C-alpha cells in the first residue's frame, strides 16, 4: 500500500512538472511575440499554481525534480530550478550547474529564466562563490540573474569581467543594471575589441552608469558602423541626428540608423525617413521610425503568404514548387497565408498625413507618438497594450539612461510584476519627475546643453 501511495504521489508531481513545461513554453512565446504584453497573464497564473503544488509537495516533489531536472525537457528543468530556488536548496542548484551542458541553448535558457524569476536574495554568497571559482560556463547564467533581480554581487561580477578575455554580454548588461561605476575603466577597455554586439552592450552599460564620454567618442564611428546606433538613440544629443542621416543613395543607411532616428524623435528627420520609403529593404523600418515619432498609425491589412514546407506538399504540389516556385493555393486562388495588420510603406499615404498634421510639430522638441517626449510618455508606452515589445524594451532603457530611473523593469517580467513596476513608475512620475520638460534633451537626469538643430 505504501509503495502504491508513493508511486501515486510521484506521478502526481510528475504531472505538475509536465504542465509547468507546457506553460513555460507558452509564456515565453507570448512574451517574445507580437501579442499585447498582458496576454500571458492567464498562462502565468496557471504556471504559478503548479509551482505552488510542487512547493507543497516537499520531499516527494524535490525527488521528482531531481530525477527530471536534466533528463526531461527544458521546461521541466525550468520547473525544477524554480523549485530549488523557492525551497532554497543550493546543493541541488549546484548539482544542476555542475552538470548542465553549455552547448544546449534550451537548457541554458531554462536555467537562466528560472534564476531570473526565482533566485532568492539569501543566495548572494552562493552566487559569489560560484562566480569566484572562475567557471566560465556559469558566468552568463549567474550574471543574468544578478542583473535582472538587482542582486548586488558587483564585486564578484567585476572580478569575472577582469578574468574574461571575451566577457559574455550578460555580464556587461548586469554591471550596467547594477550601476557598478567602478567597472567603467574595464568596460571602456572592451570598446577596442572588434566585437560589435559586445561593443554595443558596453556603450549601453556605460550610459546606465552615467558615463557619456565613451559615446561622445563614437559619433564618428557611428558613421561607418551600426553598433553604436542604439546608444546614440538612447543617450545621444541632437548631433546624433546628423550622424544617423547619410544620403539614402550612399548605401550607408541601415535598419538600425532608421530605428535610432525614430527613438530620437526629432521632426526634422522625417524627410530623411520619408525618402527611405522608396528603398524596399528600408521601407518597413523607415515607416516604423516615422510612426514612433508621429503616432500616425497608418496601418493597412496585408496578406502574408505562409512559408512553404516541402514535407507537407502532395507530389503534384511539390513538383510545381520545385520547378516554378508555385506555392499551393487556397480555394480563392491565393497562396495559403493570413492577413496581418502592417504599417503602410506607401509614400502617398505618409505624404497625405504630413500635409494635414506636420504643422503640429515644434522643430525644437523631441516627440514620441506625436507627443513631446518625456518620462511620462515613456511610462505610457510601457503600459499601453499596443506598444510593440522592441519599443517597450528600449523605452525602459531610455528611462534609466536619460532620466536616471533606477528601479528594475524588464519586458520579460511576469505580467503581475510588470504591473507593479509600472505602478511604481507612476508614483515616481507624481513625486520626482515633474521637473523634466517634455520634449527637451536629457542625460543621466540632467538637461543637456545641446539643442536640436
| Interval 351-371 mean pLDDT | 96
Q: What integer pLDDT is reported at residue 112 of this predicted model? A: 94
Q: What integer pLDDT is reported at residue 303 of this predicted model? A: 63
Q: Tens of pLDDT along 192-229?
A: 999 999 999 999 999 999 999 999 999 999 999 999 99
Cβ atoms 280, 286 nearer than 8 A = no
Long-range contacts of 210-218 (CB under 8 A, 24+ apart): 210/179, 210/181, 210/404, 210/444, 211/181, 211/184, 212/443, 212/444, 214/188, 218/191
The string of DSSP codes covering 129-198 is HHHHTT-TTTHHHHHHHHHHHT---HHHHHHHHHH-SS--HHHHHHHHHTT-GGGHHHHHHHTTSS-HHH
Q: What integer pLDDT is reported at residue 331 of this predicted model? A: 65
SS (HEC) of 217-246: CCCCHHHCCCCCHHHHHHHCCCHHHHHCCC
For helices 41-56 and 2-32, give the axis angle rounded to 10 degrees: 150
How many structural domains comprise the chain? 1
Q: Tens of pLDDT along 377-393?
A: 999 999 999 898 999 99
Q: What integer pLDDT is reported at residue 450 of this predicted model? A: 55
Cβ atoms 240, 269 nearer than 8 A = no
Which three three-digit cell numbers place residue 375? 518620462
**Does residue 366 form part of some domain?**
no
**Does residue 144 form part of some domain?**
no
Q: What integer pLDDT is reported at residue 332 of this predicted model? A: 66
- Angle at the Cα of 409 from the Cα atoms of 407 and 410, rounded to 5 degrees: 155
Which three three-digit cell numbers place residue 254? 541601415
Closest CA to 161 of 145, 185, 125, 193: 185
**Does residue 392 form part of some domain?**
no
Check whether 417 has a pLDDT greater than 90: yes
Residue 335 per-residue DSSP state: B
The dihedral region occupied by 167, where left means phi > 0, alpha psi between -120 and 50, and beta the remainder, is beta
| CB-CB neighbours of 91 under 10 Å | 8
**Does residue 113 form part of some domain?**
yes
φ, ψ of residue 327 to 5 degrees: the values are: -75, 150
Beta bridge mates, 367: 372
In angstroms, the first-to-last Cα distance of the chain is 82
**Does residue 427 form part of some domain?**
no
Cβ atoms 187, 419 nearer than 8 A = no
Q: Tens of pLDDT along 29-48?
A: 988 878 899 999 999 999 99
| Domain extent for 49 | 1-118
| Interval 106-121 mean pLDDT | 93
Choose the most confident range, by mean pLDDT, from 249-253, 261-265, 320-324: 261-265
304 three-state secondary structure: strand
Q: What integer pLDDT is reported at residue 426 of this predicted model? A: 95
Cβ atoms 78, 28 nearer than 8 A = no
Q: How far apart are CA 244 and CA 261, in angstroms?
A: 7
**Residue recorded with cell 562566480:** 131
**Does residue 12 form part of some domain?**
yes
**Does residue 5 form part of some domain?**
yes
Q: How far apart are CA 325 and CA 425, in angstroms?
A: 52
Which three three-digit cell numbers place residue 363? 522643430
Cβ atoms 215, 235 nearer than 8 A = yes
**Does residue 442 form part of some domain?**
no
Amino acid at each position: 500500500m505504501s509503495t502504491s501511495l508513493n508511486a501515486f504521489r510521484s506521478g502526481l508531481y510528475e504531472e505538475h512538472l509536465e504542465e509547468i513545461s507546457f506553460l513555460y513554453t507558452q509564456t515565453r512565446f507570448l512574451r517574445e511575440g507580437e501579442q499585447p504584453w498582458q496576454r500571458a497573464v492567464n498562462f502565468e497564473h496557471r504556471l504559478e499554481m503548479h509551482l505552488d503544488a510542487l512547493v507543497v509537495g516537499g520531499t516527494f516533489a524535490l525527488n521528482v525534480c531531481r530525477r527530471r531536472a536534466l533528463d526531461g525537457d527544458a521546461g521541466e528543468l525550468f520547473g525544477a530550478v524554480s523549485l530549488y530556488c523557492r525551497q532554497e536548496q543550493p546543493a541541488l542548484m549546484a548539482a544542476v550547474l555542475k552538470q548542465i551542458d553549455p552547448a544546449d541553448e534550451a537548457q541554458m535558457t531554462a536555467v537562466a529564466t528560472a534564476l531570473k524569476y526565482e533566485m532568492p536574495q539569501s543566495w548572494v554568497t552562493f552566487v559569489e562563490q560560484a562566480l569566484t571559482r572562475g567557471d566560465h560556463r556559469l558566468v552568463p547564467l549567474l550574471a543574468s540573474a544578478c542583473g535582472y533581480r538587482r542582486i548586488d554581487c558587483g564585486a564578484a561580477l567585476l572580478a569575472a569581467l577582469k578574468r574574461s578575455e571575451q566577457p559574455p554580454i550578460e555580464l556587461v548588461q548586469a554591471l550596467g543594471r547594477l550601476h557598478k561605476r567602478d567597472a567603467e575603466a574595464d568596460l571602456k577597455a572592451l570598446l577596442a575589441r572588434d566585437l560589435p554586439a559586445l561593443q554595443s552592450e558596453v556603450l549601453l552599460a556605460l550610459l546606465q552608469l552615467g558615463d557619456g564620454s565613451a559615446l561622445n567618442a563614437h559619433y564618428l564611428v557611428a558613421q561607418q558602423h551600426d553598433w553604436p546606433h542604439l546608444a546614440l538613440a538612447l543617450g545621444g544629443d541632437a548631433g546624433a541626428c546628423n550622424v544617423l542621416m547619410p544620403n539614402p543613395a550612399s548605401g550607408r543607411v541601415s535598419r538600425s540608423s532608421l530605428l535610432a532616428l525614430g527613438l530620437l524623435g526629432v521632426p526634422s528627420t522625417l524627410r530623411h525617413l520619408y525618402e527611405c520609403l522608396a528603398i524596399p529593404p528600408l521601407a518597413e523600418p523607415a515607416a516604423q521610425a516615422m510612426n514612433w515619432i508621429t503616432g500616425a498609425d497608418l496601418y493597412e491589412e496585408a496578406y502574408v503568404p505562409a512559408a512553404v514546407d516541402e514535407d507537407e506538399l502532395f507530389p503534384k504540389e511539390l513538383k510545381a514548387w520545385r520547378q516554378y516556385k508555385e506555392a499551393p493555393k487556397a480555394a480563392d486562388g491565393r497562396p495559403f497565408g493570413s492577413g496581418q495588420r502592417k504599417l503602410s510603406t506607401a509614400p502617398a499615404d505618409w505624404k497625405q498625413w504630413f500635409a494635414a498634421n506636420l504643422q503640429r510639430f515644434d522643430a525644437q522638441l523631441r516627440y514620441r507618438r506625436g507627443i513631446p517626449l518625456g518620462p511620462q510618455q515613456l511610462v505610457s508606452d510601457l503600459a499601453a497594450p499596443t506598444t510593440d515589445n522592441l519599443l517597450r524594451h528600449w523605452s525602459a532603457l531610455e528611462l534609466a539612461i536619460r532620466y536616471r530611473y533606477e528601479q528594475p523593469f524588464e519586458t520579460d517580467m511576469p505580467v503581475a510584476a510588470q504591473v507593479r513596476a509600472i505602478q511604481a513608475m507612476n508614483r515616481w512620475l507624481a513625486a520626482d519627475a515633474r521637473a523634466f520638460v517634455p520634449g527637451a534633451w536629457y542625460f543621466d537626469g540632467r538637461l543637456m546643453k545641446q539643442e536640436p538643430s
